[in-house]
Structure formats: C-alpha cells, structure tokens
Amino acid sequence: MTGSGQSVETRRLSVDPHHPDPDEIEVAAAVLRAGGLVAFPTETVYGLGADARSSQAVLRLFAAKGRPADNPLIIHIGSIDDAAHLAREVPPLAHRLMDRFWPGPLTLVLPKHPEVPAETTAGLDTVALRMPEHPVAHALLQRAGVAIAAPSANRSGRPSPTTAEHVWTDLAGRIDVLLDAGPTQVGVESTVVQVDEDQVTVLRLGSVTPAMIREVADHVEVHPHARGVEVGMDEVVASPGTKHRHYAPSVPVRLFEGDDRIEALRSAWVQARDRGQQVGIIATDESGLTNEHVKLLGPRDRPEEYARGLYAALRALDDESVDVILVEGIEAEGLGAAVMDRLRRAAKG
Ligand code: TXA
Ligand code: MG
C-alpha cells in the first residue's frame, strides 16, 4: 500500500492467544521490520503496529487509520530496559510505576529521546511508552526486535476493536497482516499517565485506576479533560488524542445516569419507537430490558464485564442499523470511571 488508501492484500493469521506459533509470529515480525503494518491483540484492545523508528512506516500507519497527524502514538516495548532508548530520561517514579504495572495496561508519557522520529510523537517533545502483557504482543515484540508504535486498530473515530473481526471490518485492504487471537480481555484502552518528577497526572482513565497508582505514588491527579471537562479544538491539551472524536459508532448515543436512569431510558425508548425509530439498548442484567436490539453486558457490580463488552455492543448495534443507541450508565468508580468516560465521549459524538 502506498499510504493513500490504495488496496493491499491483508493476510489474516489465526494464532493461539496463549501459545502463539513462532512461525506465524515471525511472518508478522518480518513485515514490521520491513516497514509494514501489522494488527495484533493486546490485553486492552487490538493495536495497529508499525516500526516506531521508521517515519515512513508511521506515515503509512496514520494514512491506513485516517488518523489526524497531530495525534501521537503509543510505543510498545518488550522490556523495561527498552524505555532507555526511547525516553530521554526515566525518573525514579516512572521506574516504580513500570516495576509495579508492567507488563500491563499502563502507558507512561516521558521526555522523548532524540532518536524517536517526530512523526511518531506528532511533533511533541514527549513519548508515550507501554509494555503490553498479551502473550501475542509480547512474542511479536521479542521476534520483531523493534519498538512498535501502535494506536488502536480502528479507522479513526470508530470504537476501538476488541476482536479481530472489528479490525478486519475497519482495515482489511489497508494493512499487511492481522494476527487473530480472539477477543481481548480488558476491552478499554490503557490508562495514560504523565510523570513529572514526583507528580503523576492521569491523562486517560483505564483499568489501572488512580487508586492503584496511589499505592506507588504520593501525588496523583486526574487531568480535568480525563474527568470529562470540555476541551476546545484549538486549546493545547496534554493528551492531544482526547480532543478528537472518539469511541463513537455512526449513530447517536444517549447515556442515562442517576437513580431514575432505567425509567428515563424506558420512556426515551417508547418515544423513539413512537417516532418510528429502531432503538438499540446497552444495559446491565438488572435493567430487566429485553428486545432484539438489547445488549446486556453483565451485572451492575462487575464493571469489568461492561468494559469487555462495550465496544463490541456499540459496533453490533451500528451494524444492526438502529437509529439511536440508549445506554444505561454504571457507577463511575474504579474501572467504571473509565467505562463512563468512554460512554460520555461517545454520547457527545
Ligand atoms: O490500550 C491501548 O493504549 C491501545 C493498545 C493498542 O495499546 N492503544 C491505544 O492507542 O489506545 P491510541 O492511539 O488509540 O491512543 C493513544 C492515546 C491518545 O489519546 C494519544 O493522544 C495519547 O495516547 N498519547 C500518545 N502519545 C502521547 C504523548 N506524548 N503525550 C500525551 N498523550 C499521548
Ligand atoms: Mg484509539
């Protein structure tokens, strides 16, 4: 592919999520080393990988996703030691966070090493690093021997992909290889934090919660934007990606919060039906709602199930061509806060 969206043949390889076949991993690794694009599973969502040190490969990646050039990429690494080649310095607090949470769904924003091309960090002086836990991601990083820049493997603006099928729908014909290892575990993207000396600022909520980070760091704050405070398109923000339209299916999403959310959702449902609209619903098991377009994502007290199923449910309802999606909110605590962050953004889109 030239990067202008011209079609390439995408090879889809099935791999065992726990014990991937080294020969298949090598096929993907060779493509990465040659500057190609490989979609692969992580524990959070599928990523679309390119050699992080190759400006050309990274430019192809932006084109394949249709991603705005001002939105920097997360660089995935196979060991903590690799951070020293990508970050200009790794402060002691960042090391403590790596020791505690890597491999896993925590991304650290650190001062950029001069060798990282400007394309990868969208011209920023910082670099985002993460060491994923998924055995397939880990094997790919080991075999490739290069750091892998990887945003979520969706077309820009769409919900992140939690299955290989989602990746296929968005990117077949635009990428070289898709490693299919079944659905991902966590379902929402990694927690992104900026580390400045003894201060940790959460730029994007995820399954590594502020409370968990406080076990290692004394000063942890959540950036206003990660708490849902509105950010204008031309405002300079710490995490540029969060200002772009995100997590959204192509139909309107309405989110219901508060004690009377089920009643409010039911009456919105009735009204929409009376207008002749097809209504999709995402709710907890306790909602008691049933219909062909209702997706129940588990009990209220298990936000991890809500997180795991959320993007697949949004995509499925999109495919079912409903006119509007009504969503029951959950308690914005722990992982629930990350889920609600994504839902509020989807509802704004
Ligand atoms: O779980 C994940 O993080 C997945 C998997 C594939 O690892 N990746 C992912 O990447 O969600 P992406 O590109 O969809 O989201 C990356 C986020 C964006 O909001 C981006 O703006 C932010 O990280 N980011 C990247 N580099 C940054 C930097 N230097 N400073 C601040 N934010 C940065
Ligand atoms: Mg993304």
Cα radius of gyration rounded to whole Å, the chain = 20
Point out the ligand nearest to the CA of residue 71: 1
- Contact between 325 and 278 under an 8 Å Cβ cutoff? The reply is no
Is 35's pLDDT higher than 50? Answer: yes
Mean pLDDT of 264-287: 97
Whether the CB of 191 sits within 6 Å of ligand 1: no
Alpha-helical (H) ranges within 125-228 are 135-144, 164-171, 210-214
What is the residue with the minimal CA distance to atom 10 of ligand 1?
151
Is 248's pLDDT higher than 90? Answer: no
| Greatest extent of the chain over all pairs of C-alpha atoms, in Å | 60
Burial (Cβ within 10 Å: 0-12, 13-18, ≥19) of residue 4: exposed
**Residues near 32 by beta carbon (within 8 Å), at least 6 away in sequence:** 38, 49, 50, 51, 57, 140, 144, 146, 148
**Ligand 1 midpoint to CA 128 (Å):** 7
- Contact between 212 and 195 under an 8 Å Cβ cutoff? The reply is no
Best residue among 124, 158, 189 to mutate for probing ligand 1, ranked by most atoms within 8 Å of CB: 189
**Ligand 2 midpoint to CA 159 (Å):** 8
- Contact between 193 and 175 under an 8 Å Cβ cutoff? The reply is no
Q: Which of 229-238, 287-296, 305-314 shows the lowest per-residue confidence on average (mean pLDDT)?
A: 229-238
Whether the CB of 240 sits within 6 Å of ligand 1: yes
- Element housing 268 (H / E): helix 261-274
Sign for the pseudo-dihedral over CA of 144, 149, 152, 153: negative
Mean pLDDT of 288-302: 94
Is 240's pLDDT higher than 70? Answer: no
DSSP 159: P
Whether the pTM exceeds 0.75: the reply is: yes
Residue with tokens 């129940």: 296
For the stretch 303-334, pLDDT in tens is 999 999 999 999 999 999 999 999 999 999 99
User: Which of 217, 214, 207, 57 is CA-nearest to residue 144?
Assistant: 57
Residue 185 vs residues 19, 59, 124, 246, 307: alpha-carbon distances, Å: 16, 29, 31, 20, 9
For the stretch 103-161, pLDDT in tens is 999 999 999 999 999 999 999 999 999 999 999 999 999 999 999 999 999 999 899 99
* Rounded Cα gap, residues 25 and 158, in angstroms: 27
User: Which of 286, 275, 235 is CA-nearest to residue 252?
Assistant: 275
**Ligand 2 midpoint to CA 151 (Å):** 5
**Ligand 1 midpoint to CA 338 (Å):** 14
Ligand 1 atom index nearest CA of 150:
6
Is 235's pLDDT higher than 90? Answer: no
pLDDT of residue 250: 85
Residue with tokens 């099928």: 165
Residue 1 vs residues 117, 173, 175, 258, 270: alpha-carbon distances, Å: 21, 8, 8, 48, 48
Give every strand in the sheet of 219-222, ordered side by side: 11-14, 177-180, 38-41, 46-51, 148-149, 74-76, 126-130, 106-111, 191-196, 199-204, 219-222
Point out the ligand nearest to the CA of residue 159: 2
pLDDT of residue 238: 59
| Percent of the chain whose predicted confidence (pLDDT) is above 90 | 89
Sign for the pseudo-dihedral over CA of 279, 281, 286, 292: positive
pLDDT of residue 2: 44
- Contact between 262 and 328 under an 8 Å Cβ cutoff? The reply is yes
What is the rounded average pLDDT for all residues in the chain? 94
For the stretch 167-226, pLDDT in tens is 999 999 999 999 999 999 999 999 999 999 999 999 999 999 999 999 999 999 999 989
For the stretch 80-119, pLDDT in tens is 999 999 999 999 999 999 999 999 999 999 999 999 999 9
**Ligand 1 midpoint to CA 326 (Å):** 27
* Rounded Cα gap, residues 105 and 134, in angstroms: 10
Task: Identify residue 139 by its one-letter amino acid code.
Answer: A
What is the residue with the minimal CA distance to atom 15 of ligand 1?
151
What is the residue with the minimal CA distance to atom 13 of ligand 1?
151
**Ligand 1 midpoint to CA 74 (Å):** 5
Is 255's pLDDT higher than 70? Answer: yes
- Contact between 152 and 171 under an 8 Å Cβ cutoff? The reply is no
- Element housing 57 (H / E): helix 55-65
Whether the CB of 36 sits within 6 Å of ligand 1: no
Whether the CB of 128 sits within 6 Å of ligand 1: yes
Whether the CB of 71 sits within 6 Å of ligand 1: yes
pLDDT tier, 1 (very low <50, low <70, confident <90, very high otherwise):
very low
pLDDT of residue 75: 98
- Contact between 56 and 49 under an 8 Å Cβ cutoff? The reply is no
